[in-house]
């Protein structure tokens, strides 16, 4: 039977290679890392540690400074070792994923919302609105994130809400700038003029005609930002102006190991939470790059 091969050239032995070629087009490795390092631990943290590990807030002083299991003196009870007050590192790294997820989610949602609304207003109405909002952007940019955190910690005291407000205040600026730019390009197009002729109110034009056109951009920006937010939160916690102790936050855990490492002991206390940050941020950046190329290639230089 004469059939014509229409598939792409098949070198080698067919199916396995073809599956591999298809798979390569998707960011599978970063996705897998995100699922195993961030998503599963973040969602099921309590279940995982209840079943296998000690509670993240339980310090067993008698078992303090146990090295990881493959080292001399390590036990399976503490696969990644314990720190100087007997906290279980593995348990806390797993719970830290949840802290990072919550902080990233809440701060990106709130910062993204404020930035998008202000960007739409600045771009659509122009004039004084635009001037005022863009000056606000300048002002924000000149106070760096860590310094902003220092001032707000002074005013509101340290805590979860302070971290989220600080990060949201850092983030809204990027959304506002980007959405403003997109709105400026969109608002002179025909479909906006037609909506206005049809009697649509400003609110309707913004919410029904402009906003849907910037959604792709927003999704890409949000994905690209998750990694940055996790880094920022970890940095703030590391400095002691972020998540307060004894919450298991990755940045705090790295900070806990600093003095011991300088004294030549307990490298595992800082190593593992840091690896968790590195892997998460790396995969999130790769995923964001891929999504950008798919949805919104013009964001290349953002």
Residues that bind another protein (CB under 8 A): 135, 138-139, 141-148, 150-155, 227, 231, 234-235, 238-241, 251, 254-255, 257-258, 261-264, 267, 270-271, 274, 277-278, 281-282, 285-286, 300-301
Judged by beta carbon, residue 192 or residue 269, the one nearer another protein is: 269
Judged by beta carbon, residue 111 or residue 227, the one nearer another protein is: 227
DSSP calls for the chain: ------SSP--SSTHHHHHHHHHHTS-HHHHHHIIIIIIHHHHHHHHHHHHHS--TT---GGGTTPPPTTSTT--TTSTT-B-TT--BHHHHHHHHHHHHHHHHHHHHHHHHHHHHHHHHHHHHH-HHHHHHHHHHHHHHHHS-HHHHHHHHHHHH-SSHHHHHHHHHHHHHHHHHHHHHHHHHHHHTSHHHHHHHHTT--HHHIIIIIIHHHHHHHHHHHHHHHHHHHHHHHHHHHHHTSSSPTTS--HHHHHHHHHHHHHTT--HHHHHHHHHHHHHHHHHHHHHHHHHHHHH-GGGGG-
| Smallest distance, another protein to C-beta of residue 14, A | 27
Distance CA 302, CA 279 (A): 22
| Smallest distance, another protein to C-beta of residue 259, A | 10
Judged by beta carbon, residue 75 or residue 144, the one nearer another protein is: 144
Judged by beta carbon, residue 54 or residue 283, the one nearer another protein is: 283
| Smallest distance, another protein to C-beta of residue 97, A | 15
| Smallest distance, another protein to C-beta of residue 245, A | 13
| Smallest distance, another protein to C-beta of residue 268, A | 10
| Smallest distance, another protein to C-beta of residue 8, A | 21
Judged by beta carbon, residue 186 or residue 275, the one nearer another protein is: 275
The pair of structure tokens assigned to 49 is 């540690």
Judged by beta carbon, residue 4 or residue 262, the one nearer another protein is: 262
| Smallest distance, another protein to C-beta of residue 278, A | 5
Residue 53's CB is within 10 A of a number of other CB atoms, namely 20
Judged by beta carbon, residue 219 or residue 286, the one nearer another protein is: 286
């Amino acid at each position: 039977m004469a059939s014509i091969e229409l598939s792409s050239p098949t070198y080698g032995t067919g199916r396995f290679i073809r599956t591999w070629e298809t798979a390569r087009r998707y960011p599978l490795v970063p996705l897998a890392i995100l699922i195993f390092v961030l998503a599963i631990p973040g969602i099921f943290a309590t279940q995982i540690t209840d079943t296998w590990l000690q509670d993240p807030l339980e310090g067993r002083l008698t078992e303090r400074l146990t090295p990881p299991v493959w080292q001399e003196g390590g036990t399976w009870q503490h696969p990644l070792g314990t720190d100087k007050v007997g906290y279980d590192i593995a348990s806390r790294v797993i719970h830290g994923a949840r802290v990072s997820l919550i902080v990233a989610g809440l701060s990106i949602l709130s910062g993204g919302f404020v930035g998008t609304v202000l960007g739409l207003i600045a771009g659509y109405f122009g004039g004084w609105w635009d001037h005022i909002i863009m000056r606000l952007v300048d002002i924000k940019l000149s106070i760096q994130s860590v310094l902003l955190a220092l001032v707000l910690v002074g005013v509101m005291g340290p805590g979860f809400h302070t971290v989220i407000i600080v990060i949201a205040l850092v983030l809204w600026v990027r959304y506002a700038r980007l959405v403003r730019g997109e709105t400026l390009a969109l608002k002179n197009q025909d479909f906006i003029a037609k909506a206005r002729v049809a009697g649509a109110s400003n609110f309707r034009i913004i919410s029904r005609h402009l906003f849907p056109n910037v959604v792709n951009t927003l999704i890409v920006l949000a994905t690209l930002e998750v990694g940055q937010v996790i880094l920022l939160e970890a940095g703030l916690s590391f400095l002691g102006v972020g998540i307060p102790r004894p919450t298991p936050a990755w940045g705090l855990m790295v900070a806990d190991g600093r003095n011991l490492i300088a004294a030549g002991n307990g490298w595992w206390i800082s190593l593992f939470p840091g690896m968790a940050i590195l892997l998460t941020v790396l995969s999130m950046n790769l995923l964001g790059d891929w999504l950008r190329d798919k949805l919104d290639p013009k964001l290349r230089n953002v």
